[in-house]
Amino acid sequence: MRGVAGGAILGVPLLYTQETWLHGRSVSPVVILAGVIVAFGVNMALSYFVGFRPGRTHRPTEDAVVGMGLSVLLSALLLVLLDRVGRGTSLENALGVTALTSIPVSIGFSVGVALAPRGGGEKAEQIQGGGGDLLVAAAGGVVFALNIAPTAEPILLAAELDGVRLGLLVVASLVLPYLMVFYAEFGGRERRVASDGATQGPITETLLAYSVAFVVSAAMLAMFGRVDAVNGAATARVVALAFPASIGAALGRLLI
């Protein structure tokens, strides 16, 4: 889960770029294969020095193989979820865009263990209560949403995703951050799981953090003139942007 968290943090922003979708279909397979090979070498080095399994640096090749394989799987699942790969996509195009996307995802996978300090961030204990958690969730959501909101991708995705996929995107925006924050064994996990308070149970906090990411996404889209009314189209755009914003919100909470 640490590896998946790292892959999502580094890979999701790239998934929200049309250039990735197009280049995965147009770049020569030989070039993409060369990129994958180079990425595998980088992952071997990162697995030796960092890795996603703490204290295990003596089997970098094995961990790089596992990381690359799971990164390809994660990339494929996210591309299907966002309808960038489907029944109408040729096998060659599907393999190309998946391989291209898996490169940054795999790098994030290999640095998963370094994502958060062992005991949480410095002075993290001074951020008390659910309000502090939501503050850092908002900060992380802004960082991710602000990079994507001005682009055309949320508009394009919202127009092309059907109701079922939008619903699945909401589910992914809840489940993936929940696993990142409360299941992956990052620093400070025990303190987060044991936190008291009406707003600090794992499920309640996850729902509130997603609500924050949703509001942040709506605000960012409104700021750039991407939504000007409350309707189905605007809601779909916010849902499309709230997925990367929720990953950012999870990262913010991991850092404390």
pLDDT digit string (tens) for 21-39? 877 777 888 888 999 999 9
Task: Report domain extents, the chain.
Answer: 2-114, 124-254
pLDDT digit string (tens) for 192-230? 555 555 556 788 889 999 999 999 999 999 999 888 888
**Has residue 241 got a pLDDT over 80?**
yes
Round the CA-based radius of gyration of the chain to a whole number and report it: 18
Q: What is the pTM of this model?
A: 0.84
**Has residue 126 got a pLDDT over 80?**
no
Residue ranges with strand state E in the chain: none
* Whole-number average pLDDT of the chain: 84
| Structure confidence at residue 75 as a pLDDT band (50, 70, 90) | very high
2: Cα separation from own chain's centroid: 12
